[in-house]
Amino acid sequence: MSDLSGSSRTDIKSQSSMFKTSLALRHFRGRVFYGVCLAGSLVGILLLIVLMNDIRQDGFEYFSRHFFTNYPSRKPEIAGFRGAIMGTLWVMTIVAATAFPIGVGAALYLEEYAKKNRLTSLIQTNISNLAGVPSIVFGILGLQLFVRGTIGYGPAICIGESCGFGRSVMSGALTLTLLILPVVIVASQEAIKSVPPSIREASYGVGATRWQTVSSHVLPQAMPGIMTGMILALSRAIGETAPIIMIGALTFVAFSPETPLDPFTAMPIQVLNWVSRPQAEFHDLAATGIVVLLITLLTMNTLAVVLRIKLGRESAR
């Protein structure tokens, strides 16, 4: 009996020492992995700081009131960014007005109304896949569908004597809407899924209909996540260049669009135009345009965080 108890104690001690060794090894591996991740993050941040500093040195030379009020010119000393800013504002306004109701409506249908079957699973898979499609593909689709007004066969979408919207603000906005719709739908779905089921059950328990439950309880609770996803999707759209080039946005615009059917340019296109010129002064103008674009993106991202916090507090009351 004593031999048996002694052997069991020896086994326990050996197992304990093996466990301690394994635990120490896992802790060491965890610290190594943490160090690698930290080093990778710091390298990215340092490179970003270096690039931002280079852009700041080159870009603030032309950063003045005239840069925002003047139109592009062949003379860099009087060239401005107004046409690109106004074109971007037009495009982003239409993108927000179309992507928000369509994206949120699709997410609400898929999460609250659609039956879980093979068809909805296929739709969900396609939406997730579209979120990773290169932007140039959406540019090709927008060129055929919105600029030319046809899908390649069948009747064309004609307004008067012209088919499609041409190379206009509307074509660019609808193309960018297609680009960000998968992102808006997925973000809205995740926000709707985060609403506790008990809120729906309590609403149904007092006799509310499904629409009353969705509109009065689910949607307000999910709005912080929806708005965050929407603003981040717009931040992606405002910096896209390939789809806008594909639909034929102008590279030199000495006017501001006045209707959705007018020709336009956007901030990334104007920056690309200045960078492609050989004169160093235009390169400095491009750096100034990049500063304006970065300030716009940082403002939109900050607005997303503020809205999420504010709406989250209001929904928690």
- Tell me the pLDDT tens digit for each residue of 98-118: 999 999 999 999 988 888 888
Range 31-37, long-range pairs (CB < 8 A, 24+ positions): none
Q: Are strands 162-163 and 158-159 parallel, antiparallel or unpaired?
A: antiparallel
Specify the pLDDT at position 39: 92
Specify the pLDDT at position 177: 93
The CA distance from 128 to 106, in Å, is 13
3-state SS, residue 291: helix
Q: How many Cα atoms are found within 13 Å in the side-chain-facing hemisphere of 46?
A: 6
Provide the token pair at 92.
Answer: 């982003």
Specify the pLDDT at position 4: 46
Query: Are the CB atoms for 80 and 267 separated by under 8 Å?
Result: no
Give the residue among 73, 70, 86 at the shortest CA–CA distance from 262.
86
pTM of the model: 0.79
Specify the pLDDT at position 207: 86
Specify the pLDDT at position 18: 53
Provide the token pair at 139.
Answer: 């540019």
Query: Are the CB atoms for 82 and 68 separated by under 8 Å?
Result: yes
Provide the token pair at 196.
Answer: 């506790």
Residue ranges of alpha helices (H) inside the chain are: 2-59, 65-69, 82-108, 118-130, 135-142, 169-193, 197-205, 210-213, 219-238, 242-246, 267-275, 280-316
Query: Are the CB atoms for 90 and 258 separated by under 8 Å?
Result: no
Specify the pLDDT at position 152: 59
Count CB neighbours of 194 within 10 A: 11
The CA distance from 221 to 194, in Å, is 9
| Positions in the chain whose pLDDT score sits under 70 | 1-21, 58-59, 151-163, 251, 314-317
Going by the DSSP 8-state scheme, the letter that residue 250 receives in this structure is -
Kindly give, in sequence order, each residue whose CB lies less than 8 Å from that of residue 38, ignoring residues fewer than 6 positions away. none
- Tell me the pLDDT tens digit for each residue of 51-88: 777 777 766 777 788 888 888 888 888 888 888 889 89
Burial of 240 (0-12, 13-18, 19+ CB in 10 A): buried
